[in-house]
Amino acid sequence: MKEALEKALNFEKEGFEFYKKIAAEMQNPLAKRLFESLAEQEKEHMKKIKEIYESLDFAASSNQPATAAGIEEELKKIFFELEESRRKMPLDHLEGYKLAMEMEKKGYNMYREFTQTAASESEKKFFEALMQEEKEHLNSLDNVYRFLTDTPTWYSEEESRVWNWMV
């Protein structure tokens, strides 16, 4: 559990830094606000993870802390699978959304794996809650991305949800 919490904390920290970077590069006020909001939510996730981490007694546990190198390797798999040239280029708003959606999917999958190896029901529920947060982030990003890339279809889909009683 300790290693999973450390990975989760580092993942959320990287997410916070990633979203702050993208927000700073955005010219579109909608995009800037969305990425700033996601950064703040990642900060809240870090706070929750720290609270759980600090509440656990690892002194009596036989689990040794994960090495920094081990955690770093895991994070590299998640964050740096992108081609190096793609990671370093300035982001336009659509590329920022694509990268963010990719990151949220990877976070969701990581937390899903943690639920499968959870040692207790409370651990499982905690990671399921983080999965749900990642899913909500992905849905928000996807919604705005669809609006920006195919506005007429987005409007028709949204109207059909609101006015579905007319169908």
Task: Report residue 127's pLDDT band, with 50, 70 and 90 as the boundaries.
Answer: confident
Please, are residues 25 and 96 in contact by the beta-carbon 8 Å criterion? yes
Tens digits of residue pLDDT in 5-34: 888 888 899 999 999 998 898 887 777 888
The pTM score is 0.66
Residue of 133 and 148 predicted with greater confidence: 133
Could you give the domains of the chain?
2-166 (1.20.1260.10)
Tokens 């590069």, located at residue: 25
